[in-house]
Structures are given as structure tokens and as C-alpha cells.
Amino acid sequence: MTPEPAFGEVNQLGGVFVNGRPLPNAIRLRIVELAQLGIRPCDISRQLRVSHGCVSKILARYNETGSILPGAIGGSKPRVTTPSVVKHIRTYKQRDPGIFAWEIRDRLLADGVCDKFNLPSVSSISRILRNKIGNLSQQSQYESSKQSSHQPPQPTLPYNHIYSYPTPIGASGTKVPTPPGMHSLPGHMAMHRIWPSSHSVTDILGIRSITEQQISDSSSFPSAKLEEWSVINRTHFLPSASSPLVNGVQHKSPHSIEPEAKCTQMQSGLPTVNSYVTAPSIPAYPPPTPVSPYMGYSATTSAYVTGPTWQPPSGSALSHHSCDNIASSLAFKGMTAHHRDTLYPHTVSASAL
């Protein structure tokens, strides 16, 4: 909650960043692009003026998940101790009052009640046994003999039913939850986290452009892409009847729209995500300026990110066109050109220039 989010900090490389906030997707994308070009991470770090730890992290994530997007910040994990799980635990406990928590865990897995991704921990099961079924072992015999009317399994947990676990398989074999009513995401489009990113909806380049475009031309928007953007936003899990579009993006309050997303809405419509690669006029490592990275990322990404007349070790300067292509292709592995063009309209317009 910085009063002035427009001004970030400057790292050792002279790059501007906002502490606690993810790098703009333009930069993230750039990192992956350059890596795909064979540029070493240390060179990417220097060129983009992003710490090498960050470069390493983003590349590692990309290699693992195929996504350049940051994870979901804030919020809470979806509960794994759903009423159904509690009910099963209760059943197991009733059948075998001496059953151990780890045995229950194994049985939940074996019976397909849970999978390894939403399997409650032993401690969770123990807590359920203690707090919710704790009296069961004593009461069960007692009550059964008493033939008291059975209370239906109470959803005593503050479980939010909106969280479900259809468990599609992610790129790295991890499962990615798909909100109810949504198709499973292809692995290469899945987020690493098992719940979607909220901020990344607005974090993503041109997201609003995309959605607005979708609104204005709802007939041609690929459903897969909609799903992708929707699944990114945690708010999509809200049991709202609204469309994924509204849920995922426009449902957010104006305050929640992040600066970079706002700025991605270029007045000119020409963010220069890729243009910074070739910026020979920019002196090498210019002195850091107190400019918001998020502002800079949008309108003047080149000015912020690039700087030096940087060339890869091979000696060939990165071509604008080649980078456009790669930029487009790397938002997600396997993303189609049509998706890319819509996701990164700036690349199209930039190329058109």
C-alpha cells in the first residue's frame, strides 16, 4: 500500500522495480524470449536490469510450467477439507475408530476421494478428527446405541464450495484446478500454482485490451484464451453467474487494477514491449531514473528496460522482428498465433509500424 506506487526502487543494475510486486509481464516475457534466443541468464539480467535471481526464477518457472505469469499473490488457498472429505473421514472413523490419520489419508487417496494435490495433510485430518469428529469415536457407539437421529454432515468448516478440484494436469504434471464450469486448461497454459493468480489478470499485458476487444467482438474470442485469463484470477472462483470475462477482469474494483495494467492500456495503443531490444540510441546503463517501472513498462518499456546497445554474445543484435515472433510465442508454450496476437496486440501494432 505505498502511497505512491508510481515510483519504484532501483536495484543494483539500475533497473526499477516495485518491492513486493511482480515484474511486468513485458519484462517477464522478455526474459524468456532472450533465454530462448540462447542468451545467458547473466546477460539477460544485465540487459533488462533485473536481478539474476529473478531471471533464474522466472526461467525456472517457465521451464517448469510453461507460463511466464507470476503466481497468485495474497488470498488463501482453497480448502482441501471439503465437506465431502470430512464426510469420508467421518465414515472411515466410524468404520474403524482406531484408524490413524495417516491411514485415513491413504484411504482418501486410494478411494479417489482426494488426489495427491488436494489430499489433506495428516495434521489436517487429525484436526478434523479432533475438532469435528473427535467425539465420534466415543459417541458413535454411544449414539448408535442410542439410535439418535443422525445429523447430516455439517459443513462446519468455513469451506467455500466454489473451490473444486477437477484436477487437470498441468504442464509439469502438477494439477491445476479448473473452476467449475470451465474446461481444463492445457498443461502448457496452466499456472504453476494450484490456484490462479489474481493480480496477474491485470498484470498481463493488454488484458483489458483483450477483454474489451472481446466485448466488442465477442464472436471471435477463443474460449481457451478466455479460460486462461479467467483461471488466472482468483475472483473467478466466486460463484457468480457472471461471465468469466466479467468475473475474471472487469469484476475487479477500479482500485484493484494494477498500475501496469492500466498503463498497458496505452493511449497510443503502442506499448513497446519488444522495441527495447534494439535501442542503440540509449546509452549503456543510463543512470536510474525515479520512474515507475509500471509506468515505464507500458508506454516506455524500451526506455526503462533496455538501455544499452546490448548484443548477445553471438554479436548479432536482437532483431525486432525476431523478438516479436518469439515474444508472441512465449507467453505460453504452445499458444497459437491467434491467441498471441490477441494477447499481445502491441506486438502486432508494433510490427505494423
Contacts with DNA by CB under 7 A lie at 1-2, 5, 9, 11-13, 15, 17-23, 28, 40-43, 50-54, 56-61, 70-77, 158, 160, 193, 198-199, 234-235, 256, 258
Q: How far is CA 130 from the centre of its chain?
A: 35
DSSP 137-178: HHHHHHHHHHTPPPPPPP--S---TT------B-TTS-B---
For the CB of residue 18, give the shortest distance to DNA in the complex, in Å.
Answer: 7
**Residue 93 or 258: which CB sits closer to DNA?**
258
For the CB of residue 212, give the shortest distance to DNA in the complex, in Å.
Answer: 20
For the CB of residue 186, give the shortest distance to DNA in the complex, in Å.
Answer: 20
Cβ proximity of 24 and 260 under 8 Å: yes
**Residue 9 or 111: which CB sits closer to DNA?**
9
Q: How far is CA 156 from the centre of its chain?
A: 30
For the CB of residue 32, give the shortest distance to DNA in the complex, in Å.
Answer: 12
Residue 104: HSE in the Cβ half-sphere, 13 Å Cα cutoff: 29
Burial class (CB in 10 A: 0-12, 13-18, 19+), 6: middle
**Residue 16 or 335: which CB sits closer to DNA?**
16
Q: Which residues of 35-51 are buried (b: 16+ CB within 10 A; e: fewer)?
A: bebebebebbbbbbbbb
For the CB of residue 77, give the shortest distance to DNA in the complex, in Å.
Answer: 5
**Residue 249 or 343: which CB sits closer to DNA?**
249
Backbone angles phi, psi at 169, to 5 degrees: -95, 130
76: CB partners within 8 A, 6+ apart: none
**Residue 99 or 271: which CB sits closer to DNA?**
271
**Residue 16 or 104: which CB sits closer to DNA?**
16
Computed from CA positions of residues 62, 67, 68, 71, in that sequence, does the dihedral angle turn out positive or negative?
A: negative
For the CB of residue 353, give the shortest distance to DNA in the complex, in Å.
Answer: 28
